[in-house]
Structure 1
């Protein structure tokens, strides 16, 4: 007889790609995960996974079974969430990925009171600046800054995000302050490499305008991007939620070139086709209220 915990374990192993990672996500020992997989294969009379010392791969039977097993596991999770909601309780595991700098500065502080209010939610928050695949990497949702390009995701807007073109007083003293988009082309830029293109994008009367400066530094982390701008390496286009405090303190200067940077947003997105749980909806509602409209980090810039 197939057991629900065995099906959930198999799906988690397939998504994680290893028994060790699946055990971490399930909060079980590796031996328990291996035992459940063996029981599943014995009950089905089929080998679901090829095991080597380096990796796990699905067999043909395993790939066929995974499609339905995934739906079963999701239905079980949703059923448990529905029952909990009926009792007025938000509970169970939830896995979310978010950018490092936003997570440290704003997401974490916004989540702490929510988690204290709902102690039965088991949230795993992975802070990672790479563009994770929400579905295949096993996330219930991802939080991102910018635009959601993945058509397999359903995005909920949490807050708007204004970006600031900034540089240190030292850099501007040495190289001059650009007053137009054309001036920017002669300046050194610090760019966020996860966007894929080293340019600054602005709102023009006829649409988006992209200006490419000279690359001083490309980096995939907001904290380092901010610190490099303060160190005087070049000009950076930073979200107000990162640069605001340094602009107020005078460590960075906002530059006006006559055009505003393209507006962006903070999104929470979940894989298409999945019915989002009550606790995920509750977190999204809480974050919208915590961030505000306009978000508090934009109001603070002018205080």
Structure 2
């Protein structure tokens, strides 16, 4: 007989990449996770994972079984959550990924009172700036800032995300303040490398215009991008949720070049084909109210 605990152990080991990490996520010992995997393979009559001292790899049988196993777990979780929600309680596990700086500055403070109000929710919040694959990595949803590009995701807009072209007063005093896109091209730029391109895009009546300033620094973290701009290394195009306090305090100055950067959003997205749970919808609704529109962190708001 196939046991749900064995299916959960298998899916978690694959998502975690190791028995040790799976045991940590499941709050079990390594030996218990290994025993459940062995029982599952015995019940199925086939080997699901090749185990070596360095890594785990899926067998052909494991690859074939994984998608259905993950779907079974989702349906069990959704059924349990649905029963709880029918009783007026939001409960059960949920896993969300979010970027580091936004998570620290705004997402965490918005979520803490919600979680205190709903103590039966078991939220795992993975804070990482890399672009995770929500479906294959087992996330119920991701929260991101930027354009919505992945058509395998169903996105809910939480709020607008205005970006500010800014630099330190010291840099602008030394190098001058650009007043046009042509002048901006001649300045030193600090770029966010997780986007994969070292350019800025602006909206004009003729369409999008790309500006490629001289690269002073590329970095993959929003906090350090802001700090580099405040240190006078160059001009940065920063989300208002990062740059807003520094602009209000005068440590950064917003630059007007006659055109606005392309519009972006803070959004929550879940994999296409999944029926989002009531608790995920409740989290999204709470975040919309907490952030506001325009959001509270925008200096222009």
Q: Same fold by TM-score, threshold 0.5 exceeded?
A: yes
Q: Could you tell me how far apart the structure 2 residues matched to 1:27 and 1:275 are?
A: 27
In structure 1, what is the equivalent of residue 50 of structure 2?
Answer: 50
TM-score normalised to structure 1 length:
0.97
Q: Any stretches of 5+ residues in structure 2 without a counterpart?
A: none
In structure 1, what is the equivalent of residue 117 of structure 2?
Answer: 117
The alpha carbon displacement at 1:276 in A equals 1.1
Please list the CA deviations of residues 117-153 of structure 1 after superposition, one character each: whole Å capped at 9, or x if unmatched: 0011111111111111111222111100001222211
Q: Could you tell me how far apart the structure 1 residues matched to 2:246 and 2:56 are?
A: 47
Alignment partner of 1:178: what SS?
coil
In structure 1, what is the equivalent of residue 293 of structure 2?
Answer: 293
CA contact (8 A) 1:96 1:126 kept: yes
Alignment partner of 1:129: what SS?
coil
Q: Could you tell me how far apart the structure 1 residues matched to 2:24 and 2:286 are?
A: 27
The alpha carbon displacement at 1:22 in A equals 1.8
Alignment partner of 1:296: what SS?
coil
Alignment partner of 2:280: what SS?
helix
**1:272 aligned onto 2:272:** yes
In structure 1, what is the equivalent of residue 233 of structure 2?
Answer: 233
Q: Could you tell me how far apart the structure 2 residues matched to 1:124 and 1:71 are?
A: 19
In structure 2, what is the equivalent of residue 134 of structure 1?
Answer: 134
The alpha carbon displacement at 1:17 in A equals 2.1
Q: Could you tell me how far apart the structure 1 residues matched to 2:222 and 2:292 are?
A: 22
More moved, 203-212 vs 23-32: 23-32
In structure 2, what is the equivalent of residue 12 of structure 1?
Answer: 12
Q: Any stretches of 5+ residues in structure 1 without a counterpart?
A: none
The alpha carbon displacement at 1:302 in A equals 4.6
**1:90 aligned onto 2:90:** yes
Q: Could you tell me how far apart the structure 2 residues matched to 1:207 and 1:16 are?
A: 44
Q: Could you tell me how far apart the structure 1 residues matched to 2:36 and 2:131 are?
A: 32
Q: Could you tell me how far apart the structure 2 residues matched to 1:245 and 1:284 are?
A: 25
In structure 2, what is the equivalent of residue 155 of structure 1?
Answer: 155
Q: Could you tell me how far apart the structure 1 residues matched to 2:63 and 2:230 are?
A: 51
In structure 2, what is the equivalent of residue 70 of structure 1?
Answer: 70
In structure 1, what is the equivalent of residue 31 of structure 2?
Answer: 31
Alignment partner of 1:69: what SS?
helix
Q: Could you tell me how far apart the structure 1 residues matched to 2:29 and 2:208 are?
A: 52
CA contact (8 A) 1:248 1:302 kept: no
The alpha carbon displacement at 1:4 in A equals 1.1
Q: Could you tell me how far apart the structure 1 residues matched to 2:130 and 2:182 are?
A: 31
CA contact (8 A) 1:141 1:271 kept: yes
Alignment partner of 1:54: what SS?
coil
Q: Could you tell me how far apart the structure 1 residues matched to 2:289 and 2:189 are?
A: 35
Across the aligned residues of Structure 1 and Structure 2, the Cα RMSD in angstroms comes to 1.1
CA contact (8 A) 1:192 1:220 kept: yes
The alpha carbon displacement at 1:24 in A equals 2.5
Q: Could you tell me how far apart the structure 2 residues matched to 1:37 and 1:289 are?
A: 43
In structure 2, what is the equivalent of residue 206 of structure 1?
Answer: 206
After TM superposition, where is structure 1 displaced by more than 6 Å over at least 4 residues in a row? Answer: none
The alpha carbon displacement at 1:116 in A equals 0.3
Q: Could you tell me how far apart the structure 1 residues matched to 2:117 and 2:227 are?
A: 35
Q: Could you tell me how far apart the structure 1 residues matched to 2:78 and 2:239 are?
A: 36
More moved, 16-25 vs 153-162: 16-25
